[in-house]
Structure 1
Amino acid sequence: MTSSASAPARIRIGSAPDSWGVWFPDDPQQVPWQRFLDEVSEAGYEWIELGPYGYLPTDPARLADETRRRGLTVSAGTVFTGLHHGPDVWDRTWAHVADIAALTRAMGAEHLVVIPSFWRDDKTGEVLEDRTLTAEQWRDLTTQTERLGREVRDRYGLRIVVHPHADTHVDSEENVSRFLDATDPDLVSLCLDTGHYAYCGGDSVKLIETFGERIGYLHLKQVDPEILAQVVADEVPFGPAVARGVMCEPPNGVPALGPVLDAARRLDVDLFAIVEQDMYPCPPEKPLPIARRTRDFLRSCGTPVRAPDTPNRSGK
């Protein structure tokens, strides 16, 4: 994705179902998928992620029609994995990945966001396993992730981008660096989520400057530092922390997104930067105004986002 003189590098801004409070394929607290598609287009975005598999239509022809007539294009799908458990979980993992990868490819996207499994339940806080991996589990995580990257590339033509995430084993600066040092750059890239990385104490600009060649994708979000300090002190699981508002609307939190985007632009590669403000659960009328304000803020940072009154590519 390296740019050329005739095609300068771009940061392509989009949004995701997560910014509409969508965490599950089907949940009465979530907005219907039609409303999400209508509103994300109305807010001025052109790129979206699939979100939890089964939330948006899984028939490629229908999804292509629904997105096309709203001027939307899919940038990535998302899968959840527990690859540190070793080869024994491969078949179960691949069964989860294959359908999502096929739909992602059918929609013309090139990326598959890979989120490691949680060490504690994100709703109840139940500890599911030790929060620290053994040396053997680290080997399994890295080798099986490389295997996933190879299989997804060879079978579906997709690039995996691993997403450091709160309450997983790939979270802090130390663990992210260890993961990147132990994996093949040709097979494994990173989805840098600015909010999750800040949640876990990391510096996004430093990570981009240190591991620039590994940054394959961005998620843009911020954390409220006061709420973060409270949830860390109280050892609050990620789900309840989100319900407290730990992930907040830009530019009200950290990290500052302007410097992050500037650092990303200096890489001189094409990147997706997908707005993903965790808000589950949330009132159905809350996401659209936030999405509009966030679009305006990102435009002020020098990132082009289609204005909401601009006709989409279907001319409607």
Structure 2
Amino acid sequence: MTSSPPALTRIRIGSAPDSWGVWFPDDPLQTGWERFLDEVADAGYAWIELGPYGYLPTDPARLREETGRRGLRVSAGTVFTGLHHGPAVWDDTWAHVSRVAELAQAAGAGHLVVIPSFWRDDKTGAVLEDRVLTADQWRELARQTERLGREVRDRYGLRIVVHPHADTHVDTPGNVARFLDATDPDLVSLCLDTGHYAYCGGDSVALLKEFGERIGYLHLKQVDPRILAEVVAEELPFGPAVARGVMCEPPGGVPALEPVLAAAQELGAARDVELFAIVEQDMYPCPPDRPLPIARRTRDYLRSCGAR
């Protein structure tokens, strides 16, 4: 007889539109937002992210009504930024960020996930800029991200969590460490996406142990090592890699999530905080009937790891 794993009392499990193949505010290949909300609740999740701005209702009262009657709460909104370009992009960046932050705050969220802009087009692979930042661009990235963290905190009461992401400039362990070393811990935390970090050669447990005080949020995701090897060999951009299935259903890929969750639980206990761990299985595009069975199985698997 096997014993039950220790309860992960410091982890709040959720899911996101991404796990339903949603990448854009409106796309005929995507699941409709009403169906997403119905199915994410049916799969056993209590927390969700907003996904791309405009996918879920942007009227705060409507959003609260639609999520509340399904027993759902919002953990975070998400924005894409190109802050390494410096002050020249601030006004346009803030126009986008402020809309998302305002809605996230109104929905009761406490976080804003910040994803750096892609250096190549995630669909076509067209190179948009150099994949390596200059020293000046690193300084601007740090300076403008701190500014964003301060403004979002002071105006909306949200904590920004920067998401290392494939095909961006904050990706590999070296770049993640450089970014963390260059930014103020009081203003900038990290959203550790276990799948993206593995995609870019990182070890999530090692990151949790080395930079635990900087980890403010988690995305739970796995990569298929066989497909990842093909992606690396062929230098595929992220979009086609996802379409090929590089992000896979747990527990069939890497990293193993049990030690990640155990390290996150230990971290949460040491800091006396609860950490969100939001399931994100990138799979755009996907048939509309595919996400729900995967979401149910993933929720059951996470319960078997102690995530209630």
Q: TM-score, normalised by structure 1?
A: 0.93
The match for 2:59 is 59
The match for 2:137 is 137
The match for 1:232 is 232
Report Cα offsets for 1:85-143 as digits up to 9, x if no partner: 00110001000100100000001110000000000000000000000000000000000
The match for 1:175 is 175
Shift of 1:43: 0.3
The match for 1:276 is 280
Indicate the SS of the match to 1:115: strand
2:48–2:75 Cα contact (<8 Å) kept? yes
Q: d(CA) in 2 for partners of 1:10 and 1:262?
A: 10
2:9–2:307 Cα contact (<8 Å) kept? no
For 2:96, the aligned partner's letter is: H
Report Cα offsets for 1:206-261 as digits up to 9, x if no partner: 00000000000000000000000000010000000000000000000000000000
1:286 matched to 2:274: no
The match for 1:254 is 254
Shift of 1:10: 1.9
Q: d(CA) in 1 for partners of 2:274 and 2:69?
A: 25
Q: TM-score, normalised by structure 2?
A: 0.96
The match for 1:158 is 158
Report Cα offsets for 1:144-172 as digits up to 9, x if no partner: 00000000000000000000000000000
For 2:70, the aligned partner's letter is: R
Indicate the SS of the match to 2:190: strand
Seq. identity, % = 82
2:23–2:52 Cα contact (<8 Å) kept? yes
Indicate the SS of the match to 1:154: helix
The match for 1:5 is none
Indicate the SS of the match to 2:140: helix
Per residue, is there more helix in 1 or in 2?
2
1:97 matched to 2:101: no
The match for 2:4 is none
The match for 2:34 is 34
Shift of 1:9: 5.4
Report Cα offsets for 1:46-97 as digits up to 9, x if no partner: 0000000000000000000000000000000000000000011000100010
Gaps of 5+ in 1: 1-7, 305-316
Q: d(CA) in 1 for partners of 2:189 and 2:223?
A: 24
Gaps of 5+ in 2: 1-7
Indicate the SS of the match to 1:161: strand
Runs of at least 4 residues of structure 1 off by over 4 A? none
The match for 1:312 is none
